[in-house]
Amino acid sequence: MVWVILCALGLFLFISYARLSDASFKEFGTMVIKGCKTVTNIIFTFVFIGVLTGIWREAGTIPVIICYASKLIRPSVFLLMTFLLNSMVSFLTGTGFGTAATMGVICAEMGRTMGVNPMITGGAAMSGIFFGDRCSPVSTSAMLVAAVTDTNLYDNLKNMVKSAAVPFTLSCIIYGVMGFFLSTKGITMDMDAVFAKEFVIRPISLIPAIVILVLSVCKVPVRIAMAASILTGVPICMVVQGDGVMRILHSAVLGFAPVDQEVAKIMSGGGIISMMKVIGIVLISACYTEFFGRTGILVGLQKLIEKVAHKTSAYIAELLTTYLIGAMSCNQSLTIILTNQLCRGFNDDKEQRALDLEDSSVIVPAIIPWSIACSVPLSVMRVPNTTVFVTFYLILILLWRSVRSLYTKKRM
């Protein structure tokens, strides 16, 4: 909520600046409405995501995924599996924060019991957490990028998979080799015993996740895919978990609230209310673009960025812009919107512009320690800020895209 207030305060300052430039209150209203209209569709999608995350918790979908996945963790492949399992959960749920609070916490605790350096465990987990935050069909950041660039989400996802193939493969090799040389105690956690206090752990609870994966592969519109997953989850809540209608509605709207405190630490949350902060930030951020256009306050900065793009590459200029905005705004959504505002003139190819945003504005906030995209997962997993130096997947994406963009520019 603090970040929503700060964004609103920033918007108020821009309105004051626009008022000094003789803009009327009618113009203010028009700019606000126009800005909000640009993200109306994605706001409705965020509501669907909130319901989905609540129902998946209530139906036992996420607990079952974690229970089955945690059995795959062995000391010799601990870091590699930490990366892959967090990648899987984040891809299925589309949320970095949600993955950090579930699979991320579990892997971090397992690492501590095995005697693994928390920084290294955190790096592998953070890499996996932002794998799905970047390219999941239900990722809010991926949807926001598609909305601001007016592109198709599934086409963007296909491009992201191609651009991340080399960094992903190299990350697996690095974490695999590092894990092989780790000296561990060989202790693991019994997640079945933990979740059995609150859930009935059965394979049938995986159906909502399978539904959304299958429909996504078939390129069914995201909201329809999420609605189908929600509808398959509700009867599982009733029949398998034994929940009543009011409890299900509570989870869908206000979030899942388990009775057991140990389960609550890693599984509470979700629901429409969990999306209110990001909805508020996106709505306010969308208004920024209209005020920037009206006041021309960014013209000088845009010219400077254009010079950088001319001397290096469009991606390098966008990457530097992202670092600047991300460091100041400390917010991923605002970074995406403002970077697009400043750099959208670099490339007429909308899909390429969307990919550049994904590989800069979505990734960079995750390695800025004071950004909420980075600080919240690190805090939840209780790992140090130095973790950002071993988030190899994220770092390799930035390096890989930078080298490729310079090579392409040189050949032109």
Q: pLDDT 10s per residue in the chain (412 long)? A: 554 555 556 556 555 655 555 556 566 667 667 767 766 777 787 788 788 888 988 998 888 887 887 777 777 788 998 999 899 888 887 778 778 877 787 788 788 777 788 999 999 999 999 998 888 888 888 888 998 888 998 999 999 999 999 999 999 999 999 887 776 555 566 778 888 888 888 999 999 888 888 887 787 887 888 899 899 999 999 999 998 999 999 999 998 888 888 888 777 888 888 778 777 777 776 676 666 656 555 666 667 777 777 787 888 888 888 988 888 777 788 888 888 888 877 777 889 889 999 999 999 999 988 887 888 788 778 888 899 999 999 999 999 999 988 887 776 6
State the distance between the two ends of the chain, measured CA to CA, in whole angstroms: 47
Q: What is the largest CA-CA distance in the chain?
A: 69
| Within a domain: 17 | no
What pLDDT does residue 329 have?
Answer: 72
Query: Which residues fall within 8 angstroms of residue 169, CB to CB, at 6 or more apart?
Result: none
Query: Which residues fall within 8 angstroms of residue 222, CB to CB, at 6 or more apart?
Result: 45, 48, 137, 138, 143, 153, 216
| Within a domain: 65 | yes
What pLDDT does residue 388 have?
Answer: 92
**Parent domain of 201:** 41-275
Handedness of CA 228, 86, 62, 247 (dihedral sign): negative
| Within a domain: 380 | no
How far is residue 203's CA from residue 211's CA, in Å, rounded to a whole number? Answer: 14
Take residue 29 and report the two structure tokens written for it: 């209203």
How far is residue 112's CA from residue 251's CA, in Å, rounded to a whole number? Answer: 32
How far is residue 35's CA from residue 29's CA, in Å, rounded to a whole number? Answer: 10
Looking at the structure of the chain, the number of domains it has is 1
Take residue 69 and report the two structure tokens written for it: 């996945």
| Within a domain: 153 | yes
What pLDDT does residue 248 have?
Answer: 92
| Within a domain: 326 | no
| Within a domain: 338 | no
| Within a domain: 127 | yes
What pLDDT does residue 115 have?
Answer: 79
| Within a domain: 207 | yes
